[in-house]
Structure 1
Amino acid sequence: MMSSQQNDRITRVGKGTPAGQLLRNYWQPVALVEELPVQRPIRAVRLMGQDFVVFKDEQGRYGMLDRDCPHRGADLAAGRLEAGGLRCAFHGWLFDVDGHCLSTPAEPVGSTLCKKVRQSAYPVVERSGILFAYIGGGEPPAFPNFDCFAAPSEYTFAFKGLFECNWLQALEVGIDPAHASFLHRFFEDEDVSESYGKQFRGASADSDMPITKVLREFESPEILVSPADYGLRLIARRPLNDTQTHVRVTNVVFPQAFVIPMSAEMTITQWHVPVDDENCYWYAIFTSFGAPTDKVQMRAQRLELYELPDYTSRKNKRNHYGFDADEQQTQTYTGMGFDINVHDQWAVESQGAIQDRTREHLGTTDKGIIAYRRLLVDAIEKTQAGEKTLMMIDAQQAAHLTGPASIDGIGPADGWDDYWRSSDVKRREAAPWPAPKA
């Protein structure tokens, strides 16, 4: 049982909080590249309760500054891109991507005020369609050589969505292998050839069995959790008969990402990023080991649910997530449609803005969540003590962090562990791009 003080310690992320201090030591997704259009590449961003503005200057450099102008506090997100930086619309003060003040137009000739002013600036890098920023102190960690970062851009696709709840409960739904048999249960199987871009709708690898059938008919997986250099590896095993077993391998990448199978040829790497204590964005990179991703189709599929400019769900708590009682009786377990993002959103938002973990009773299937929370608490304690934490890696270490393997397939009941490992190797060797060996 967890106390309310312990729950606050691992969920609240404002400046100066223990969990917030930890998460600030890592690169955080702050925007999709597509959110900075050519016409006006400026975007207001809220991250862990702080307000920033992200922009791309005339030279093509990305920058992120505190959102309030250091002159009189006006909103820099309403500014103009010109003269080598971002100019405040209030008095014309101009700042470059490094926070240097380039101009204070209303000051007298010869004024040195500009040289004395510096806006807080933060490093920004683009990786696979996502802009990552670092708002911690000291040097940021290196990016691991994971598939989502190693793949050429034509083999990846990035998207995001808003959940109106705390980041931790949103993350925990993705590291819970047992929920899929109920939350994502469909009463009828669809044509798997029509499943491109849809999670839990295709066939498991090395079979023609729809994953919907596996989840529906084999609802009690054996869950195995093991430590990994990057966090945790989770395996959910569902024996189908005396000779076959379904194996699903997923991963927790510390501090707040997971890597899961999307289909036989595609994986999802997903981060849950706090906007503040009561809202978060999920950011995902879809990585294909087969054909280039059909970005147009995948984006169109997701825009059926998510509404721009803030990537908010059209199905939400204000319209009961589109619940339909007839559908719940005949088509889906939740009655909330066929998009599993809606199911996940209902599950985590229904727990409250910040889940009250003092009232929960964990079971055997929650072993992945328990293991992750132990990693999180340990890392918070180390951060408070000024010690290095998991995935605070340098370039040399990053080069050797590859994969991680993420498989959904049906293999032999005996030797299933060898099966998923060999399936991963086989997929990498057949990839049209040089997929790093996991």
Structure 2
Amino acid sequence: MMSQEANDLITRTGRKDPCGKLMRSYWQPAALVDELEGARPVRPVRLLGENLVLFRGEDGSYGLIDRHCAHRGADLAFGRLENGGLRCAFHGWLFDTSGQCIETPAEPAGSQLCKGIRQRSYPVVEKSGILWAYLGEGAPPAFPELDCFVAPGSHTFAFKGHMNCNWLQALEVGIDPAHASFLHRFFEDEDTSAAYGKQFRGASAGSDMPMTKILREYDRPIINVEHTEYGLRLIALRQLDDTSTHVRVTNQLFPHGFVIPMSTEMTITQWHVPVDDENCYWYAIFTSYAAPVDKPKMRDQRLELYTLPDYKSRKNRSNDYGFDPHEQATETYTGMGTDINVHDQWAVESMGAIQDRTNEHLGQSDKAIVQYRRLLRQEIEKVGGGEKPMLFLDDASARSIQGPATMDGIGPTLGWELYWMEVDVKRRRGAPWAAPVPREIAGKVQHLTAAE
């Protein structure tokens, strides 16, 4: 069991908290690019417990500054976009995207007051449909060469969703391979050809067996956890018979992300970003290795559940997540519909705003969670000691972090170790964009990577 002090250490991300200092060592998703489309590109943002406002200037650059005006604290989220900046509606003070005050119109003519006024501001960059902010000190790190950042815009789609709980319990669902056999269990299988855009609904690579059938009938996976340069690799094995085994390879991407297969053609790279200690957003980039992403379909599918402008779920605690006891008896394990995002949201929100880990009892199937918490504490300690944490990359080292490799398929019971790598490499080789073969597996499947 965990002490309350240890639980606070790994969950709280305020500016003065040890984990908050760790999180500020990385670029954080602050908003979707879509959120700043339209006539008034201004959005309030709460990130790592800080109240900010995000806006796009006339020149196309982005600003992320303190939400409360340096003059008398009025809310800049209601400001006016004028003269190359964001103007406070209270007294007209104008701030540019760097936070510098450039006009104080109510002051006497010739006043130099504005020169000494600056809102706290943070750098913002656009990448794969997400606006990323760096809330740390000093120069920000470089972005790793992940597939979701390398793929062209036509082959990626970004979305997000709100969860009313701490970021850590939201992340830990994604590194828990065992839960999918229960939480996401369907009692009947659907036509896998209609599974586009839906997780756990298609067929596994190398077969026509629906993933729903595999999860339902083989609910005791053997879970292997490997340490990598970017975090952890998780391999879940469900042996079907003496000759064939279902293999699912996922990755924990430090500090608060994971990379998982969505289908034979698409992966999900997802981050769990603290709004504050009791709320978070998941941000996901869906990456296709085949045809361009059908973005209108993907967006429409998700807007059936999530409401704008805050990307909150229509099924939530206030309506029992749509729970239907008849459905639970006959159709799904939860009785909460067929969207697995609802299942996950119920699971993590039902733990409370911040899970009380002093009362939990972990088992063998929780080995990835145990390893991740150990890694998290290790990196918090490094930052506290003045060192750079894992995956804080410079330009020279950014290319070394590629992929990472993922896979979901049925392969040989003897020889699955090489099989999953071959499936991943073949998918990369067939991609219409230059999907890099991660260095960590390239040498093990040389017969497929000879062209490099």
Aligned to 2:113: 113
Whichever residue aligns with residue 139 of structure 1, its letter is A
Whichever residue aligns with residue 140 of structure 1, its letter is P
Q: Secondary structure at the residue paired with 2:421?
A: helix
Aligned to 1:246: 246
Q: Secondary structure at the residue paired with 2:161?
A: strand
Whichever residue aligns with residue 144 of structure 2, its letter is P
Deviation at 1:139, TM superposition (A): 1.2
TM-score between the two structures when normalised by the length of structure 1: 0.99
Correspondence 1:209-358 to 2 at 5 A:
209-358=209-358
Deviation at 1:197, TM superposition (A): 0.3
Correspondence 1:82-93 to 2 at 5 A:
82-93=82-93
Deviation at 1:388, TM superposition (A): 1.4
2:112 is aligned with 1:149: no
Deviation at 1:152, TM superposition (A): 0.3
Deviation at 1:213, TM superposition (A): 0.4
Write the distance in 2 (CA, Å) between the matches of 1:433 and 1:392.
27
Q: CA RMSD in A?
A: 0.7
Write the distance in 2 (CA, Å) between the matches of 1:70 and 1:414.
65
Show CA shifts across 1:356-413 (max 9, x none): 0000010001010001001100111111111111011111111121100011011111
Aligned to 1:19: 19
Aligned to 1:81: 81
Aligned to 2:202: 202
Write the distance in 1 (CA, Å) between the matches of 2:15 and 2:400.
33
Show CA shifts across 1:221-261 (max 9, x none): 00000000000000001111111110000000100000000
Aligned to 1:184: 184
Aligned to 1:376: 376
Write the distance in 2 (CA, Å) between the matches of 1:306 and 1:116.
43
Whichever residue aligns with residue 434 of structure 1, its letter is A
Deviation at 1:80, TM superposition (A): 1.0
Whichever residue aligns with residue 432 of structure 1, its letter is P
Write the distance in 2 (CA, Å) between the matches of 1:127 and 1:420.
29
- Structure 2: give runs of 5+ residues left out of the alignment: 439-452
Aligned to 2:45: 45
Write the distance in 1 (CA, Å) between the matches of 2:63 and 2:153.
21
Write the distance in 2 (CA, Å) between the matches of 1:272 and 1:63.
22
Deviation at 1:106, TM superposition (A): 1.1
Deviation at 1:49, TM superposition (A): 1.2
**Identical positions, percent:** 68
Show CA shifts across 1:78-129 (max 9, x none): 1111111111111111111111111111111221101111111100011110
TM-score between the two structures when normalised by the length of structure 2: 0.96
Aligned to 1:131: 131
Whichever residue aligns with residue 250 of structure 1, its letter is T
Write the distance in 1 (CA, Å) between the matches of 2:282 and 2:158.
11
Correspondence 1:60-71 to 2 at 5 A:
60-71=60-71
Aligned to 2:5: 5
Show CA shifts across 1:250-294 (max 9, x none): 000100000000000000000001111111000000000010000
2:59 is aligned with 1:59: yes
Whichever residue aligns with residue 149 of structure 1, its letter is F
Write the distance in 2 (CA, Å) between the matches of 1:355 and 1:115.
46
Correspondence 1:165-176 to 2 at 5 A:
165-176=165-176
Deviation at 1:141, TM superposition (A): 1.0
Aligned to 1:96: 96
Show CA shifts across 1:392-435 (max 9, x none): 11111111211000110111111101111011110000001111
- Structure 1: give runs of 5+ residues left out of the alignment: none
Write the distance in 1 (CA, Å) between the matches of 2:249 and 2:59.
43
Write the distance in 1 (CA, Å) between the matches of 2:119 and 2:152.
35
Whichever residue aligns with residue 377 of structure 2, its letter is V
Q: Secondary structure at the residue paired with 2:382?
A: helix
Write the distance in 2 (CA, Å) between the matches of 1:392 and 1:296.
35
Write the distance in 2 (CA, Å) between the matches of 1:395 and 1:228.
19
Q: Would you identify which runs of 4 or more consecutive aligned residues in structure 1 move more than 6 Å? A: none
Write the distance in 2 (CA, Å) between the matches of 1:314 and 1:293.
25
Aligned to 1:393: 393
Write the distance in 2 (CA, Å) between the matches of 1:344 and 1:141.
31
Q: Secondary structure at the residue paired with 2:132?
A: strand
Write the distance in 1 (CA, Å) between the matches of 2:25 and 2:171.
18
Aligned positions, number: 438
Show CA shifts across 1:164-219 (max 9, x none): 00000000000000000000000000000000000000000111000000000000
Deviation at 1:38, TM superposition (A): 2.8
